[in-house]
Chains A and B, each alone.
Chain A
Amino acid sequence: MRNASDTTSTRSTDRGDSPVVRVIRGVQILAVIAAAVGVLVFPLTGPGPFILSVGVVILSYACMATGWNFVGGFTGYISLGHAAFTGLGGYAVGLLILRADVPPWVALVLAGLIVAALSVPIGFASLRVRGASFVIMSLALVLIMLLVFQSWSDVTGGSNGLRVPRPFGPEVLRPEQHERFYYLHVALLVIMLVVWWAIDRSRFGAGLKAIREDEDKAQSLGIPTFNYKLSVYVISAFFTALAGGLYALWFGFLDPIFQFSILTGSYMVLMSLLGGIRSLLGPALGAAIVGYAIEFFKAQYGDTQFHLVALGLLLGLVVLFMPEGILPSLGRLVDRLRPSATSIREESAEDLANKNAAAEPRAQDPEETETVLVDDNGRHL
């Protein structure tokens, strides 16, 4: 994995006024604008209800993956259990409408807030541990939610499921529904991206990224690591719940098996990793690729379990060969075109010496953490 200092070094090259850099930036901006226009215009091209519904599903995945990336991208805590929040969001919307007669859109916002409140104690317990223990906790969260929502059938409908009433009247036909939900998902995604971007540039975001790189050092520098982690976890839960709630309003039916599915959680992780968890648009790009692939596999192989094998294979390959994702890999490819990467060095010997000096302790990082571990053991022994 790259270190935080790498980003600053690439950023400093951005400021160079060489025409190549400007062209690259221009191409990047054009690509983003083209993608945005493409997403917005897509329903107007008359794709037909089925293709449009696939578009809604992919956008829903993009919302979930971006929501996941608030925790995964900033802090590096990989949660395999974010499906618990989409499921809770969906059920909260459904139950608020059915049992409390709350108007659908108010219910959606309330559901986000309720899940955010629930995520405080959950985060309090699970963020006390790191790494693998955290992943275990997140998996346990989905499994426990599945148990609860299946067993507590008086309220949740149990395995029979829960029918969520449509927010639009009967005069709105299905293609029209798809189109409206398509744009609602786009709006939610844009809000999330703006918030992610704002955090990314803030002091809060810098602290979170410091946690990702080295939590102990971040803490010793005075960052209130636990509060930071918990805050971003709650933000992530809120947005993930909104994505789940919006999906519930669109799909209109909730079944615990699908709402609290480990698969949904792993889709979010796979999409974000594939796109690149450190970049703003990475999860959305990953969602577009993986979401399309999932729909394709389902259409091709239907009911067989083969899509699980494909998903597992894809996840394994990404983890083994591209753990940083597509966007960072592309970025590095583009970096080669930049002036600093030409065969003639444009940096002074002093710069180079500083760079090497900075790179040296970094190269030893794994050993360093290993030694700390040994020390720790020694103390505990």
Chain B
Amino acid sequence: MDLVVQSLVLGILLGGLYALLAAGLTLYFGVMRVVMIAHSAFLILAAYLAWWFTSTTGLDPLLSLLFTVPLFFVTGVFVQRVLIARLKPATLTMMSVLLTFAIALMIEGMLGFVFSGTQRRIQLPYSGASFEIFGARIAVVKLIAFALAAVALAALYLVLKATRFGQSLRATIQNSEAAALVGIDTKKVAGYGFGVGLATAAVGGTALALDATIYPSLHWHWIGPLMAIIVVGGLGSVPGAAAAAMVLGVSQSLLQIPMGTTWAQTIFYIVLFATLVFRPHGFFGGRLAQRF
């Protein structure tokens, strides 16, 4: 029983991180109909930057957010305005996948080149600390990572719902032509949407670096589950992505008890296959799924 509670709590903590990252992916897809394969590569890049920041300055990795978040935002705007916008609209979806895939390869290669393929891990004074709740033992770093993801997700939600920028972003996602007609500069909004999406990768990467061992090719282990989450959630819906992330994160964690770590990962792909066979639109009200 303790084991189940433990897995459940760990699953929720993992699901939070998945939810944040899937929200970023949903933003790219929403504003540009672009599936950003490089999202998880940027995630690992941010984790490496956090590790590098801590190992050179000795400060807390959370402080690296002060420069990675703006840096990633600017990079996102750049990627959208300079690279993605160049692609022809008729083949945008396919070609953008290949283009972001190329970016992912370059990031992985550069990370391997600069930091070598050695596995890295941040050592913190509170790395080993943990506490007990309902018989489950939770590491403090995992909780911090979850809190970080939750705060970022809440901030994203507030920006989308309460600000003028968020309103124009949502309008662009819903119908970019109509948004342009009522005077929204959709190109600019799309660029900023990309920037915000990439900023979630910066936050997620720092959260990941807190309690995970990182290596350059780690991003392939993230992109599969994340892609599964956004398809299951129904592409284009942030709440859908968050809900699917939670459900799948918890399922993965619970399935680890009977099946072991490796086989539990297959849950993402099984659910992905099932979703596409039975409900290609996804489960959580994605309205954009069919036409992309």
Interface size of A by Cβ–Cβ distance < 8 Å?
56
Chain A residues with CB under 8 Å of B112's CB are: 304-305, 308
Cross-chain contact B290 with A374 (CB below 8 angstroms): no
B95-103, B145-153, B200-208, B242-250 - interface stretch = B95-103
Are A135 and B90 in contact, with the CB atoms below 8 A?
A: no
Judge whether A306 and B91 touch: CB under 8 Å.
no
Question: Does A130 lie within 8 Å of B292, measured CB to CB?
Answer: yes
B83 touches A (CB below 8 Å): yes
Complex Cα spacing A274 to B231, Å: 30
Query: Is A356 an interface residue, CB under 8 A from the partner?
Result: no
- Indicate with 1 or 0, residue by residue over A31-69, a CB within 8 angstroms of chain B CB atoms: 000000000000000000000000000000000000000
Say whether A365 faces chain B, with CB atoms less than 8 Å apart: yes
Q: What 1/0 mask marks residues of chain A from 154 to 190 whose CB sits below 8 Å from any chain B CB?
A: 0000000000000000000000000000000000000
Residue A18 at the chain B interface, CB threshold 8 Å: no
B230 (CB) vs chain A CBs: closest residue: A136
Main secondary structure of the interface of B (DSSP, over half): helix
Q: B117 near A: Cβ within 8 Å? A: yes
Chain A contacts with B in 106-145, Cβ cutoff 8 A = 124-126, 128-133, 135-137, 139-140, 143-144
Q: Kindly supply a per-residue 1/0 record for chain A positions 80-108, scoring 1 wherever the CB is within 8 Å of any chain B CB and 0 otherwise.
A: 10000000000000000000000000000
Q: Are B288 and A312 in contact (CB under 8 A)?
A: no
Q: Which of A4-12, A220-228, A314-322, A329-337 is found at the contact surface with chain B?
A: A314-322
Question: B3 in the interface, Cβ–Cβ < 8 Å?
Answer: no
Q: A220 CA to B95 CA in the complex, in Å?
A: 26
Minimum CB distance partner of A306 in chain B? B113
Cβ contact within 8 Å between B99 and A316: yes
Given contacts A140-B272, A306-B113, A377-B288, contact A266 B231 (CB under 8 A): no
A207 to B252, CA, bound (A): 42
What's the least CB distance linking A339 to chain B, in Å? Answer: 29
Q: Which residues of B contact A129 (CB under 8 A)?
A: 276, 280, 289
Are B98 and A315 neighbours in the complex by a CB distance under 8 Å?
yes
CB-defined contacts of A366 to chain B, threshold 8 Å: 88-90
**A199 interface residue per 8 A CB criterion:** no
State the Cβ distance, A337 to closest chain B Cβ, in Å: 27
Chain B nearest Cβ from A358, distance in angstroms: 17
Complex Cα–Cα for A126 and B231 (A): 12
- Chain A CB within 8 A of B266 CB: yes
Q: Is B195 an interface residue (CB 8 A)?
A: no
Given A125-B276, A130-B292, A135-B94, A266 and B287 contact (CB-CB distance below 8 Å): no
The interface on chain B, measured as residues whose beta carbon lies within 8 A of the other chain's beta carbons, has a size of: 62
The docked-state distance in angstroms from the alpha carbon of A312 to that of B37 is 13
Q: Does chain A have a CB within 8 A of B7?
A: no
Contact in complex: A1, B98 (CB < 8 Å): no
Q: Are the CB atoms of B86 and A320 closer together than 8 Å?
A: yes
* B window 131-162: CB within 8 A of A: none
Note all chain A residues with C-beta closer than 8 A to B117: 305
Q: Does A309 sit at the interface, judged by CB under 8 A? A: yes
Q: Is B99 touching A319 in the complex (CB atoms < 8 A)?
A: yes
A219 within 8 A of B: no
Q: Are A144 and B35 in contact (CB under 8 A)?
A: no
CB of B109 within 8 A of CB of A137, answer no
Question: Would you call A140 and B227 a contact (CB within 8 A)?
Answer: yes
- Contact present for A311 and B105 (CB under 8 Å): yes
CA distance A187 to B39 in the complex (A): 41
Cross-chain contact B106 with A316 (CB below 8 angstroms) = yes
Say yes or no: B266 contacts A144, CB within 8 Å: yes
Say yes or no: is B49 at the interface (Cβ < 8 Å to chain A).
no
Q: Are B103 and A316 neighbours in the complex by a CB distance under 8 Å? A: yes
Please, which residues of chain B bring their CB within 8 A of the CB of A370? Answer: 89, 177
Cα separation A126 to B276 with both chains bound (whole Å): 7
B contact residues around A150 at 8 Å (CB): 262
**In the bound complex, do residue B110 and residue A309 qualify as a contact, i.e. CB atoms below 8 Å apart?**
yes
- Do residues B104 and A312 form an inter-chain contact, with CB atoms below 8 A? yes
In angstroms, Cα B99 to Cα A118, docked, is 30
Chain B residues near A338 (CB, 8 Å)? none
* A1 with B290: CB separation less than 8 A: no
Interfacial residues of chain B within 211-247, with CB under 8 A of chain A in the complex: 216, 220, 223-224, 227-228, 231, 235
CB–CB A319/B262 < 8 A: no
Interface positions, chain B 104-138, Cβ under 8 Å from A, are 104-106, 108-113, 117
Flag whether B174 is at the interface (Cβ < 8 A): yes
In the assembly, what is the distance between CA of A368 and CA of B223, in Å? 32
Task: Please judge, given known A-B contacts A131-B292, A137-B272, whether A309 and B90 are in contact too, CB under 8 Å.
Answer: no
**B277 proximal to A (CB < 8 A):** yes
Q: Complex formed: what's the CA distance from A187 to B223 in Å?
A: 38
B262/A147 in contact, CB under 8 A: yes
Q: Is B26 an interface residue (CB 8 A)?
A: no
Question: Which of A136, A140, A307 makes the CB contact (< 8 A) with B35?
Answer: A136
Residues of B within 8 A of A377 (CB): 174-175, 287-288
User: Are the CB atoms of B276 and A139 closer together than 8 Å?
Assistant: no
B90–A369 touching, CB < 8 Å: yes
Q: How far is the CB of A329 from chain B (nearest CB, A)?
A: 15
**B105/A309 in contact, CB under 8 A:** yes
B-side contacts of A269, CB under 8 Å: 98
Cα-based distance from A353 to B29 in the complex (angstroms): 40
Q: B220 to A313, Cβ gap below 8 A?
A: no
The smallest C-beta distance from B248 to any residue of chain A, in angstroms, reads: 13
Shortest Cβ distance from A130 into B: residue: B292
Cβ of A376 < 8 Å from any Cβ of B? yes
With a CB–CB cut-off of 8 A, which chain A residues contact B4? none
Given contacts A311-B105, A315-B98, A377-B288, contact A135 B35 (CB under 8 A): yes
Residues of B contacting A305 in the complex (Cβ-Cβ under 8 angstroms):
108-113, 117, 216
Which of A133, A323, A372 is the one whose CB lies under 8 Å from B289?
Answer: A133
Q: List 11 A-B contacts (CB under 8 A).
A: A1-B88, A129-B276, A136-B228, A139-B37, A313-B102, A316-B99, A316-B102, A320-B87, A366-B89, A369-B90, A372-B291
Q: A80-B101, A143-B220, A323-B95 are in contact. List 5 more A-B contacts (CB 8 A).
A: A78-B98, A129-B289, A137-B273, A366-B90, A377-B288
